[in-house]
Amino acid sequence: MKAFMTNGTIDFLLKLDEKYKDIQFYFMTSNSSGLAYYEGKEKSVFNSGRDYDVLIKKGEILEDGYVVMNNITVVEDGKASFEARFKEREHDVDMMPGFQAFRFLKPRKGNTYVVFTQWQSVQDFENWKNSEQFKKSHKGPATKPPAHYADKPFITTYHMFDEKE
């Protein structure tokens, strides 16, 4: 399975629903922009966007919730070991209250992987970050990033778009 996403103004992105009625888009907003996300087997319908292979999928993305994307840039010769380490880790995240969906996304171009999690609320995500399960799954050298990281990971957060709000 593949995943596709693109950024833009929410007004522009919502027009995709009218143009591609057979695709289930998920629209999200942040302080700075909007994001359209969908999963499928064909090539992307976005003129400019990012394409991924879905390596791990848990849960179903819902129309309501809080999305956290951990963007991790990995050096070329570190991709295989990064993927293997990630697949071997215990994923206690899906047992946490408020968990909705998880995706481990490998870029089809470039080196920035995305760890996508969806939560019922910001508080549910914060509870996860402060949990023993989080500490256990993120343990390791705290002073420097692993050798396969090309840059410091960064997080982007979104709220699912609700037309009624």
pTM for the whole structure:
0.89
Secondary structure element (H or E) that encloses residue 156, with its range: strand 154-160
Task: Specify the pLDDT at position 110.
Answer: 92
Q: Residues of the chain with pLDDT > 90: what percent?
A: 67
Give the chain's mean pLDDT: 89
Task: Specify the pLDDT at position 136.
Answer: 75
Task: Specify the pLDDT at position 160.
Answer: 97
Confidence of residue 144 (pLDDT cuts 50, 70, 90): very low
Contact 111, 74 (CB under 8 A): yes
Task: Specify the pLDDT at position 147.
Answer: 61
Confidence of residue 139 (pLDDT cuts 50, 70, 90): low
- The whole-angstrom separation of Cα 22 and Cα 25 is 9
Q: What is the pLDDT of residues 89-138, one digit of tens each?
A: 756 788 899 999 999 999 999 999 999 999 999 999 999 999 888 877 76
Q: What is the pLDDT of residues 36-74, one digit of tens each?
A: 999 999 899 999 999 999 999 999 999 999 999 999 999
- The whole-angstrom separation of Cα 139 and Cα 143 is 11
From residue 85, give the alpha-carbon distance in Å to each of 26, 27, 55, 90, 123: 29, 31, 13, 10, 28
- The whole-angstrom separation of Cα 102 and Cα 94 is 8
